[in-house]
Chain A
Amino acid sequence: MLPLAYLAVRSFERGGGVVWDVLARTRTAELALRSLSLAVAVTAACIVLGVLSAWLVTRSDLFGRRAFGVLLVLPLAVPSYVAGFTWISVAPQLTGFAGAFVVLTLVSYPYVLLPVAAALRTADPAVEEVARSLGRTGRQVFLSVTLRQVRPAALAGGLLVALYVLSDFGAVSLMRYEAFTLGIYTSYRATFDRTPAAILGLVLVVLAVALTIGERRARGVVALRGRRQPLTVPLGRARVPALAGTVALLVLTLGVPVVSLVWWLVAGTSTFEVTDLLVTTGNTVAVSAFGAVLTLLLALPVGVLAARHQGRLARGVELASFAGHALPGITVGLALVFFGIRFAPALYQTIPMLAFAYAVLFLPLAVGAVRTGVAHAPPVLEDVSRSLGHGRWRTASRVTVPLSAPGILAGTALVFLTCAKELPATLLLRPTGVDTLATELWTRTEVAAYAAAAPYAAVLLVVAAIPAVVLDRFLRQDDSVR
């Protein structure tokens, strides 16, 4: 809620008239429309790509589907600004809406792939078998039954994508697509004025809340959980196109950035210091780990509340956590500057404060994972534990947490890699003199020193890729425990 309070203070400090002026500008509506259309397009594309690829790696007999299952998640590790500048160097003519669309889709479809793959692994295959027995063809079953089973997961992932697109600045600015965040940044960078930026931030929050409520309306009923492994569907004649499509997706998502980075590493003449790189990597891991753990601790009560209670309070808390996700990092960062320096000066520009900013920004990622995780720990098991003489806390630590662990760890991994990529809030809130991979990368790309930036980008990819692999592993392990 802190960012919202901050936005309200900054928006109205010069009276309602200014707020109205900014809102009434046709430019504001135009930017909102541009951002929304980008968000809708990217989300739709991510849902298509995410659902298809999730189905291929979980249900089909795609060649090497396990390996693809891991590789297809890895684009999560590519920061949008890295994807952006590698694409610019590969295809300079790709700009504007098309450019932003391509880059954002390619880095964010795993947000859909992950939950949909999990849902496909756990969905009750009996439902599909019944549909087959009632005379539907395989394709009809996919369209009518399977898609419906994964709809809640796909929409939940889609919501994250949409919020991410709204908040993204890196890709849209590199691709020169004038989106809402550009208005916000222009306000800071060109006019040094925080009021219009705050008002525009409030508009983003409204958009985010509308999207979140829309998703909840459309989410529908969660699929039945099956007790058996789902059947593998033979692809038949579609084998080769499916394989080619998957490989093509990987080339676009991972190949382009990796090849560009390698090219820069090899072609670049700039040298870099290994110790500096190691220290920066250490900082990144420490800061991101702290951010991930703190986010998780804050997400636990929210996620448990969301999973166990359907009350108005639970929905409100969850909704508030999503609002932060649609705000650009700079807005959340400044909100914490505002509150931090006034109410917690001892913590200002310390790692805990930065970790807290990450928590505000990425809480929804963890809340979703915790919610799914806790759903794996039915309340009856907690009842049993308490009847056996264990209090609430021991029950939580011995039953609820271990059972929710796969989901919770997956959420932590996701937040970790997102923290590692985060830039604007990191710049504002990091302790003076502490560099992370993202800030070092920014320092170098800002002056177009791509060769010097490449090692940092490469390490950042690796650091973020490790949790991406962990993420995938835990989703599978969860599968085998059941």
Chain B
Amino acid sequence: MSGLTVKRLVAGYGGEPVLREVDFEVPEGGLLAVLGPSGCGKTTLLRVLAGFHPIASGEVWLGERQLTSDVPPERRGIGIVPQEGALFPHLSVAGNVGFGIGRGERGDRVEELLDLVGLGGFGSRMPAQLSGGQAQRVALARALAPRPEVVLLDEPFSALDAGLREELRADVRATLKAAGATALLVTHDQEEALGIADHVVVLRDGVVAQFARPQTIYTSPADLGVALFVGEAVTFAGDARAGLVETPLGTLPTSGDGPGTVLLRPEQLILGSTGVPSIVDDVLFHGHDATVLLRLADGTRVRSRVQGRISVRAGDAVSVSVDGSALFFEGTP
């Protein structure tokens, strides 16, 4: 296993570059998420790394080995887990997992991997008999079987329902860590990216907007766009001076200076008996938490995320206070 380094990578279709000077690296054994809206170039990046799409300029390194466009997919040692698994429909689960490994080694290794993904004993099933989550686990086992240096996962959880998604996400992370694999996962789901990866690349219009740890991405987004993309936000226009900014929720500590946009995360808005008075418009219940939609006295609408038991209902009057400092960006959303 070795790390993956991408330097000033440019690639595209015809004359139109889709990736424009992309830089990032994944340390050996690390798990990187590439996060971006559709059309940002994530899929192209994946295809370039796997060897299905040529590099226009820039470099891709796998440890000490440079992967030029001449290295065909089968010589790269890079496994892929496509969307919805893409299992070979004509092969059994064991046949799928054993597809990339030599005959001699096959039996033990297949069992070992099926155990690793929690599907021991499923070897003789056909893909059509599997659920979506099981198919994804088989696809992961199949990709890991030949001990690739890197595994690429393309939106691996997008087709699954929420509960399963959460569970599988944790399992996949654990499996990748247990296998010691270097992995790169592309997704448009910020929760997924932030929840699973060691590092996140936010890709926007073919350019890396930010490359950092998930927590950093969330708490210190590089710009307003990243901030809005990686989580829900409450924003106001404001003018920051000497570490403070005036907002409808009061004067808040912040880092910027001059006119711009003040950004708060909904969980920073605390409902209680102190703060700015407001009326509850509606409550959106999520199970583990809830979003409370509020209207301030001046008519401004904001949202608060509340953990635990919810005691308010539409029409109630509550006061809103802010926990912590506000993010401040130049420009308007």
Q: Hey, which bits of chain A sit against chain B, CB under 8 A?
A: 378, 380-381, 383-391, 398-399, 402-403, 481-482
Contact = CB atoms under 8 A, between A and B. Distances in A.
Contact of A386 (B72, B82, B86, B90): B72
Interface in B56-92: 72-76, 78-80, 82-83, 86, 88-90
B322 interface: no
Nearest to A403: B90
A107 to B, nearest CB: 35
Contacts of A385: 88, 99
Contacts of A381: 86, 88
B143 interface: yes
A388 B146 contact: yes
B82 A388 contact: no
Contacts of A388: 74, 79, 99-100, 142-143, 145-146
B264 interface: no
A390 B86 contact: no
B90 A387 contact: no
Contact of A389 (B50, B74, B90): B74
Contact of B100 (A378, A390, A391, A481): A390
B285 interface: no
Nearest to B98: A388
Contacts of A481: 89-90, 128
A408 B289 CA distance: 55
Contact of B89 (A384, A387, A403): A403
B52 interface: yes
A124 B146 CA distance: 37
A481 B88 CA distance: 11
Contacts of B145: 388
Nearest to A394: B74
A387 B86 contact: no
B72 to A, nearest CB: 7
Given A388-B74, A482-B128, 11 more contacts: A378-B86, A381-B86, A381-B88, A384-B82, A384-B143, A386-B72, A387-B51, A387-B143, A388-B100, A388-B142, A399-B88
B52 to A, nearest CB: 6
Q: Determine which residue in B52, B79, B83, B90 has the highest number of CB atoms from chain A within 10 A of its CB, and name it.
A: B90
10 contacts: A383-B50, A383-B73, A384-B82, A384-B86, A386-B72, A388-B99, A388-B100, A389-B146, A390-B100, A403-B88
Nearest to A399: B88
Nearest to B47: A383
B88 A387 contact: no
Interface in B14-46: none
B72 A387 contact: no
Contacts of A399: 88
Interface string B140-164: 0011011010001000000000000
Contacts of B142: 384, 388
A452 to B, nearest CB: 48
Given A403-B90, A481-B90, A390 B82 contact: no
A378 to B, nearest CB: 7
Nearest to B96: A384
A391 B88 contact: no
A403 B127 CA distance: 14
Nearest to B78: A387
B89 A386 contact: no
B208 to A, nearest CB: 24
B51 to A, nearest CB: 8
A109 B281 CA distance: 66
Contacts of B50: 383, 387
Q: Which 6 pairs across A and B sit closest by C-beta, in order of nearness?
A: A388-B100, A386-B73, A387-B80, A380-B86, A386-B74, A389-B74
Contacts of B78: 387
Contacts of A380: 82-83, 86
A391 B89 CA distance: 20
Contact of A387 (B73, B83, B128): B73
Contacts of A402: 90
Contacts of A398: 99
A386 B100 CA distance: 9
B78 to A, nearest CB: 6
A386 B143 CA distance: 11
Nearest to A387: B80
Nearest to B75: A389
B99 A387 contact: no
A364 to B, nearest CB: 27
Nearest to B86: A380
A240 to B, nearest CB: 38
Nearest to B73: A386
Contacts of B100: 388-390
B74 A390 contact: yes
A389 B98 CA distance: 12
A381 B145 CA distance: 16
Interface in B116-156: 128, 142-143, 145-146, 148, 152
Nearest to A383: B52
Contacts of B128: 481-482
A308 to B, nearest CB: 13
A130 B89 CA distance: 28
A390 B82 CA distance: 17
Nearest to A480: B128
A189 B145 CA distance: 68
A219 B156 CA distance: 35
B304 to A, nearest CB: 40
A390 B75 CA distance: 9
A298 to B, nearest CB: 25
A403 B90 CA distance: 7
Given A383-B50, A384-B80, A391 B74 contact: yes
Interface in B254-272: none
Nearest to B152: A387
A301 B51 CA distance: 23
B231 to A, nearest CB: 31
A373 to B, nearest CB: 13
Q: Determine which residue in A383, A386, A389, A391 has the highest number of CB atoms from chain B within 10 A of its CB, and name it.
A: A389
Contacts of B146: 388-389
B96 to A, nearest CB: 9
Contacts of A403: 88-90
Given A390-B100, A399-B88, A403-B90, A383 B74 contact: no
Contacts of B80: 383-384, 387
A385 B51 CA distance: 12
Contacts of B74: 386-391
A402 B80 CA distance: 21
Nearest to B79: A387
Contacts of A390: 74, 99-100
A314 to B, nearest CB: 18
A391 B74 CA distance: 6
